[in-house]
Amino acid sequence: MASHGYRWFVVAGALIIQICLGAIYSWSVFVIPLKEVFSFTTTQTQMIFSLALAAFSLVMIYAGRLQDRKGPRLVATLGGVVLGAGYLLASFSGGSFLLLALTVGIIGGAGIGLAYVCPIAACVKWFPDKRGLVTGLAVAGFGAGAWLFAKIASNFIDAYGLSTAFMYLGAIFTVAVVLGAQLLRNPPAEWKPAGWNPPESKLSAASAADFEWRDMVRCKQFWMLWIMFVFGAAAGLLVIGILKPYGLHSGLSAAAAANAVGVLALFNGAGRIVWGMVSDLIGRRNAMTLMFLLQGVMMLALIEMGSTEMTLSIAAAWVGFNFGGNLALFPATTADFFGTRHVGINYGLMFTAYGVAGIAGPILAGSVFDMTGSYLWAFIPAGAACLVAAGISLGLKSPQTVIAAQK
């Protein structure tokens, strides 16, 4: 098969994998059943979610380095096996918080971390001509998977109970991720799309530099991006973790609150594609500034938008759309700023910001609600953080541009 045509099979494999990995974003459908069946507190339910996100981001550092050496197919296959095993083991937890934290949280999160970076790293190498778009496509399945598995998981829980739901989900994840992984591979060395050449402005030696991770973390641009990623991801993950219970607390029916979860998931997936395309047209920095401004405004408005199904769905769509943009813009910007040769390990390190956000956002929401009975004092700092991120993005310049200017 011609290399140029094969790159779309890589995208197909990426979507299959990411749809399954994105099931973690449907976590809020588990919150009420865990509280009712196993008497968990809201904070405990969010701790499991946070552990999964933290394990996801930490393991991704190792996975990025491993896939740079071994290729994406092997590492993604391993991720599917580990993710499936976490959920299968969770079905035998008997409602133990510690066992669910270990299985769904740490083991399941580690499986996501192993598999997640592989499709992204492969796709940015196959699509230097459409890096923003393809990064968005590669991770769009993650958002769409949350919508799909919110429905699947809810149906499994209603029909079979929590433990059996975990078992069925584990089986689905194992089979689908392993199959999707078989479509992944890196392009040949020095490959580029037929008829495409890099823009003239990017042909300088400085612009062509591939940073190793040790050099990358010495750049202030890395830390600017990292802080922005923490702020943007924390706001989105805060809402994802508590959206359904927030709707119920605001007086909506279970069906209306669950519908908002699905709306957020769909717009999460769409945001990854659209923000990736927009950033190809107007530049990463401009796209990030606009995205963070929009998200900051909505986080501050969200406390007033839970009382009707329409307003909560609008808020969910808005938050999901902008949150999804983070997962397209930051890998594309990492590749732009620091090159594609070491993009696996480099984005793995950048993605530790997501792990920090995964602890800060959901646990802030859970603990604030347990203490005050309201989410107000979680939404306000999250909105302020997004506005700060927009300000940071205004001063963002590629390290390669800085190097070129110094010569």
Residue 49 lies in a domain: yes
Q: What is the mean pLDDT of residues 29-41?
A: 90
Residue pair 81/107 in contact by the 8 Å Cβ criterion: no
Residue 196 lies in a domain: no
Would you say the pTM of this structure is higher than 0.95? no
Q: Which domain holds residue 264?
A: 7-187+206-406
Residue 197 lies in a domain: no
Number of domains, the chain: 1
Q: For residue 240, what pLDDT is reported? A: 86
- CA atoms within 13 A of residue 223's CA, in its CB half-sphere: 6
- Structure confidence by residue, pLDDT tens digits, 334-376: 988 998 888 888 988 998 998 899 888 888 888 888 888 888 8
407 pLDDT higher than 70: no
Residue 19's CATH number: 1.20.1250.20
Residue 244 lies in a domain: yes
Q: For residue 376, what pLDDT is reported? A: 82
* Separation between Cα atoms, residue 68 and residue 147, nearest integer Å: 31
Q: For residue 204, what pLDDT is reported? A: 38
- Structure confidence by residue, pLDDT tens digits, 53-100: 889 988 988 898 898 889 899 999 999 999 999 999 999 999 899 999
Buried/exposed 165-197: b ≥16 CB within 10 Å, e otherwise: bbbbbbebbbebbbebbebbbbbeeeeeeeeee
Residue 126 lies in a domain: yes
Question: Hey, is 41 helix, strand or coil?
Answer: coil
Could you tell me the pLDDT band of residue 32, with boundaries at 50, 70 and 90?
confident
Residue 195 lies in a domain: no
Mean pLDDT for the chain overall: 88
> Is the model more confident about 140 or about 162?
162
1 pLDDT higher than 70: no
Could you tell me the pLDDT band of residue 155, with boundaries at 50, 70 and 90?
very high
Residue 224 lies in a domain: yes
Write the burial class of residue 209 (CB in 10 Å: 0-12 exposed, 13-18 middle, 19+ buried): middle
Q: What is the mean pLDDT of residues 38-56?
A: 89
Using alpha carbons, select from 386, 368, 367 the residue that is nearest to residue 377: 368
Residue 2 lies in a domain: no
Q: For residue 406, what pLDDT is reported? A: 54
> Is the model more confident about 197 or about 38?
38
Torsion of CA 209, 215, 221, 223, to 10 degrees: 150
